[in-house]
Structure 1
Amino acid sequence: MLQSRRGFLIGAGAVLTAAFVKDARSFIQRTNEPLMASPSEVVETMYWHEIPDDGYQLTLGPWSFPPPPPTWREFFVKEGIPHLTDVEIEKLCSSHCIQPGDFDKPVQRRYWEDWFDITSGPLARAYHLLQRIDLGPSRGSGRGPHLEFNVGSHPGDSTHYVNAKDMLSLSLLQARLLDLKLPIRIAKGE
């Protein structure tokens, strides 16, 4: 389900200029690749994956399946969830439908897969990063370059993901990340 659309602010007073858009469109026509300038320092890579009829899906880090579930205790420690006092233990047991004796058992598979799709997987990480940064205004129309922020693609699915409409949107996204001095490179996924 489409949750929101965000476009890029282009033109007078904007960081991305009309000249850049013209150059990017020309480059895309000649090469059939987005125009990408890499940051001087790369700390993280965002990958784009072509999705027929839906543009380009973005992942922060390589696309992957969920790893094997950790134990509940490992999960609580990694996520910084308090779990040592009687009150904390009671609250966790109630909210996760587990017993204190379950802390050293693996996290239930369905819960772990949902957590991955909503919070910690590469699709969700790209979604949450791009939601936090200023990319430009929300867009109601389907015209122009934009990103689509989605939650689930069918009933019962809660995967958080972002699709770039086209190669121009990918080019503008990389340019905006550079403008914000974020050390993130955008590259084609495998």
Structure 2
Amino acid sequence: MPKSFSVTSEQGIGINGNIPPATTPGVTPPLLFQTLPSPGIPTNFASGDFILFTGLRPGPPPALGNPDPLTITCDRPVAAAGTQIAVDDTFLFTASISAFDSNNNLLGSFSTQGTSSLALDNSAQFLGVRSDTANISRLVYSSSEGSRALGINSLSIAEAVPEPSNIAALAVAGLGLFVFKIKKRLG
């Protein structure tokens, strides 16, 4: 039976997660932990990050874990989403993300090289997607190491992507106020 969880984002978006069941006996259930220096659990996420870990079978490296993928579904479509990702006991791996709309149509799929270490240096690979419209309903994260535990930190989501002209207008307005304040101080 898969392991599922539900949370609500700060923006009020319902997030449902699904982790496949372990096919190897002795694999722990998924767990949430905070990365901290000794005596904590070191990773290559930032010190203090909370990590959702898909579960592992304790023992010498490489530890087997729950199989890929980790699926995240939003209760309403978003325009962008992403998180940092690492794989247990694997220095170099390929991480992948696939994005789907509410009708289960594939919007895009991307892969990148990632690394895992114990450095607590925030070097875990960020993997996310962005669309011009809020049409992303489901994300599927996986790795080239499908039988190892996968870890992610906080999911970043955006319901809408600002128009480039609005961003430029805000930047110009902000720069104008900044110049006005400098002139006022000098004058």
Determine if the TM-score, normalized by the shorter chain, exceeds 0.5. Answer: no
Greater relative CO, 1 or 2 (CA 8 Å, sep 6+): 1
In the superposition, the TM-score normalised over structure 1's length comes to 0.24
In the superposition, the TM-score normalised over structure 2's length comes to 0.24
